[in-house]
Structure 1
């Protein structure tokens, strides 16, 4: 192994990681290897708007997490360039809440399950567009993969942060209790 090869962070349990780019119409999904070294695109999932609970989009991500024995699902948190949060941020947080609840339900059936963590995703879609254009893909033709490319960038950034800090990246999303939902 070369000196420049990335290393698996000591102290972090093995397990694939998923990256999720939540958009208004589509959700990009990416995954890593069990050692968390490289992010690769998985698919684009149609977004279910105005849904509650475990809608088809949430169930698809849960299925992927269970199938891959994921340790973490990183959900991109779109902030304004200033760092302030807006409507898209609230939407991503709500989606992450639904996802963590569905994963907790799946965990009851399968045993252990992944954490859900929110990570800053400023500029990922712009970066994804630039990467696809530089690879020779036309804008109209790369719409179907732009969300996957953004998910790859979200996930690879989280993986790089894990290696640099030796701990999980982002903000942990805690499952809500019955008490939390009635406040």
Structure 2
């Protein structure tokens, strides 16, 4: 099943912070942008507790709180696809979290292509000398930074192209 991500800059809410979210089955990595939506930085790792049929748990409450605390104008959730663009089983998890955030905040939630972000994040941490064991709690944040930074770069390009 082909799964298409959203396009950065389309229906753009304008200036303001963006929240990047890397949804895993155990942890959720979170990144935040600056107010100019230029640079993504790691925010935190949230333990995943909410299952498909559950009421919103502490993980969803925390994500909603971050949207409020940072006055976020757009949330970018990684869409896990394989190299052919097909959705993996994790797509359901990402879409579920995206739906719950949107339902409670009414902030636009976009699905961004996240192919290879965890690989890039893992390689970067390894290059920095962080062991895999030490890095586990940071790898999800690093992946969220990759997702968000890629979105911010795509947004900047898209907005520039549509200006001219």
Q: TM-score, normalized by length of structure 1? A: 0.77
Cα offset for 1:53? 4.1
Matched with 2:26 is 25
Alignment gaps of 5+ in structure 2: 1-8
Matched with 1:95 is 97
Among 139, 142, 146, the residue aligned to 1:153: 146
Cα offset for 1:163? 0.3
Q: Give the alignment of 1:34-113 within 5 angstroms.
A: 34-50=35-51, 52-104=54-106
Cα offset for 1:24? 0.7
Question: 1:46-104: per-residue Cα shift (whole Å, max 9, x none)?
Answer: 00142534321111111111111111010000011111112111221112111111213
- The alignment covers a number of residue pairs equal to 149
Judge conservation of contact 1:26–1:47 (CA < 8 Å) in 2: yes
Q: Secondary structure at the match of 1:166?
A: helix
Judge conservation of contact 1:21–1:151 (CA < 8 Å) in 2: yes
Higher relative contact order (CA 8 A, sep 6+): 2
Q: TM-score, normalized by length of structure 2? A: 0.86
Q: Give the alignment of 1:163-182 within 5 angstroms.
A: 163-166=156-159
Judge conservation of contact 2:50–2:57 (CA < 8 Å) in 1: no
Q: Distance in 2 between matches of 1:41 and 1:130?
A: 16
Structure label with greater radius of gyration? 1
Q: Secondary structure at the match of 2:122?
A: helix
Q: Secondary structure at the match of 2:134?
A: helix
Q: Give the alignment of 1:133-144 within 5 angstroms.
A: 133-144=126-137
Question: 1:14-70: per-residue Cα shift (whole Å, max 9, x none)?
Answer: 210010000010000000011101100000000014253432111111111111111
Matched with 2:4 is none
